[in-house]
Amino acid sequence: MKEVRVRFAPSPTGALHIGGVRTALYNYLLARQQNGKMILRIEDTDQNRFVPGAEDYIIQSLAWAGIKMDEGVMEGGPYAPYRQSERKGIYRQYAQQLLDSGHAYYAFDTEEELESLRERQKAAGSDQQQYSAATRLQMSNSLTLGAVEVKKRLDAGMPYVIRFKIPENQEVHLVDLIRGDVIVSTTQLDDKVLMKSDGMPTYHLANVVDDFLMKISHVIRGEEWLPSAPLHVLLYRAFGWEMNMPQFAHLPLLLKPDGNGKLSKRDADRMGFPIFPLTWKDPKTGEVSKGFRESGYLPEALINFLVLLGWNPGTEQEVFSMEELIDSFSLERISKSGAKFDIHKAQWFNEQYLRAKTDQELAAYLLDGLQQGGISCSTDKAVQISSIMKERIRFPQELWEHGQYFFIAPSAYDEQVISKKWNADAVRVLTAFRDAVQKAESFDASVAKNLLEQVTTSLQIGAGKIMQALRVSVTGVGGGPDLMMIMEIIGKEEVVSRITYALEHIHANVRQS
């Protein structure tokens, strides 16, 4: 059987969209499962759309996501170079082959001539404004000008493009592994440019030539490329490569969470979630878009979320490691219809993966965040905090954001809790509890619990009534993990000092009001 060789072939025209990560992932899973090869090819022949930094960004994003390459711009490989701008000579040679065999022709038309073609077609009521079998003989090209004139123009260095001569009245038939049979009449197709006047190939030529030369077995890419597939089939035919044509699989779109239509950056911005794997600063506008990584998504959670947008395992299983995905993945289970991008599901996966981490692993995130905020913390304390916060967070940074009180005494208190729960009983219990803690020889969660029990029993005030007041005096907020554990972590001195401060300040507030 033919070796499975797949490629991810992005154009470095900006940040990698999250849909691109999914495309790369599906390619990767098939390659790994079939003991094949995964290739990263950079399609950078459109000089107008080239964006500096984009290639690096793509490489880093894939590495972060855990999608590893066997061959590519970084790894090299038997079919190097893998950057199309370094393969110009190759495309020129293959364009020549098509010129020689009569499948392509030189076209010298100026912008004005092309515009006037479109105008004429519009005036004639044609719904297709294109350079095609119906119009090519009215234009300035090597089919109409005669060999002498063509040579003269070429020798004089006049600008030209090379166009593909779409065969007339044929049916192009291709089998898409996801969509099934696709049949298109060549009357629907135009004579696409293969080589541009700057000497660069267009996407179509470079893509087909490279897929052939790199022995690609499966072309797995976004649905937006489906309309190009018939042209690609015709190119394979024209080159005489039909026997070696890859199989095609066009992936369903990622849809916006609300309504219909393709998920766009605008939707993501509007709804406040990332659309790029890593933070990206647009070099032209300076606009910074926060990435999934910087928003606190774990790569394994993002992968798990993405794989299920368009593919299903046929079972109830939802959480998959990369290894499990490699085992279970199949192109047959990719659906034709678009998948809604539900960011809540991504958050749910993130929670699952965070909970599966050890306290030590989470502590590393916490220590990292604290360090950036210039706060020191022992590893033991970070591990303890992680252990009690684990079930309550969706993102690693919430360890720090929701647990600031572990490090900083509150300077403000939750108003609602104060107005409902701060009363004379609370003040009596807190005062007595603070004094008891101060006298205690040792202090931990169970000591705190016992002392509180003793105090509430002797004052005959239900612990439930004053718990919120105690919490707010220690943490400033009304919710959080087990308060006794919080007090153990904060430590005796700090607990005493915080309750004392709260008794002075909150009491003053009560009196004033």
- Residues that bind ligand GLU in the complex, under the rule CB under 6 A: 9-11, 43, 203, 207, 221, 225
Residue 64 or 225: which CB sits closer to ligand GLU?
A: 225
Question: Closest distance between ligand GLU and the C-beta of residue 378, in Å?
Answer: 49
Residue 203 or 212: which CB sits closer to ligand GLU?
A: 203
Both tokens of 266, joined, read: 């605008």
The single-letter DSSP state of residue 224 is: G
Q: Which of 6, 59, 8 is nearest to 35 (CA)?
A: 6
Residue 250 or 421: which CB sits closer to ligand GLU?
A: 250
Helix/strand/coil for 180? strand
* Distance separating alpha carbons of residues 163 and 201, to the nearest angstrom: 11
CB distance 16 to 276 below 8 Å: yes
* Distance separating alpha carbons of residues 181 and 248, to the nearest angstrom: 11
Q: Is 390 an active-site residue?
A: no
Question: Closest distance between ligand GLU and the C-beta of residue 82, in Å?
Answer: 13
End-to-end CA, the chain: 83
- Cα 455 to chain centroid distance, Å, stands at 54
Q: Which of 161, 159, 334, 375 is nearest to 248 (CA)?
A: 334
Question: Closest distance between ligand GLU and the C-beta of residue 268, in Å?
Answer: 19
* Distance separating alpha carbons of residues 275 and 253, to the nearest angstrom: 14
Residue entry with tokens 């678009």: 338
Which string of DSSP letters, residue by residue, matches 48-92? GG--TTHHHHHHHHHHHHT---SEETTTB-TT---BGGGGHHHHH
Residue 221 or 390: which CB sits closer to ligand GLU?
A: 221
Question: Closest distance between ligand GLU and the C-beta of residue 20, in Å?
Answer: 7
Q: Which helix (H) or strand (E) holds 435?
A: helix 424-439
Both tokens of 323, joined, read: 């290894």
Residue entry with tokens 């199949």: 330
Question: Closest distance between ligand GLU and the C-beta of residue 43, in Å?
Answer: 4
Residue 280 or 405: which CB sits closer to ligand GLU?
A: 280
Residue entry with tokens 């950078």: 44
* Distance separating alpha carbons of residues 512 and 279, to the nearest angstrom: 48
Residue 84 or 347: which CB sits closer to ligand GLU?
A: 84
The single-letter DSSP state of residue 336 is: S
| CA-to-CA dists, residue 283 to 222, 243, 287, 318, 459, angstroms | 26, 44, 8, 38, 66
Question: Closest distance between ligand GLU and the C-beta of residue 207, in Å?
Answer: 5
Q: Which helix (H) or strand (E) holds 236?
A: helix 229-239
Q: Is 258 exposed, middle or buried (0-12, 13-18, 19+ CB in 10 A)?
A: exposed
Q: Which of 136, 50, 142, 46 is nearest to 100 (CA)?
A: 142
Measured at the CA of 62, the angle between CA 250 and CA 89, to 5 degrees, comes to 70
Looking at 88, 215, 262, 265, which residue is catalytic?
265
Residue 219 or 389: which CB sits closer to ligand GLU?
A: 219
Q: Which helix (H) or strand (E) holds 384?
A: helix 379-389
Question: Closest distance between ligand GLU and the C-beta of residue 175, in Å?
Answer: 17
Residue 225 or 407: which CB sits closer to ligand GLU?
A: 225
Residue 252 or 403: which CB sits closer to ligand GLU?
A: 252
What is the number of residues in the chain? 513
Question: Closest distance between ligand GLU and the C-beta of residue 157, in Å?
Answer: 30
* Distance separating alpha carbons of residues 440 and 451, to the nearest angstrom: 9
The single-letter code of the amino acid at 230 is P
Residue 11 or 140: which CB sits closer to ligand GLU?
A: 11
Question: Closest distance between ligand GLU and the C-beta of residue 287, in Å?
Answer: 21
| CA-to-CA dists, residue 18 to 219, 326, 492, angstroms | 19, 20, 48
Question: Closest distance between ligand GLU and the C-beta of residue 349, in Å?
Answer: 26
- Which residue numbers are catalytic? 265
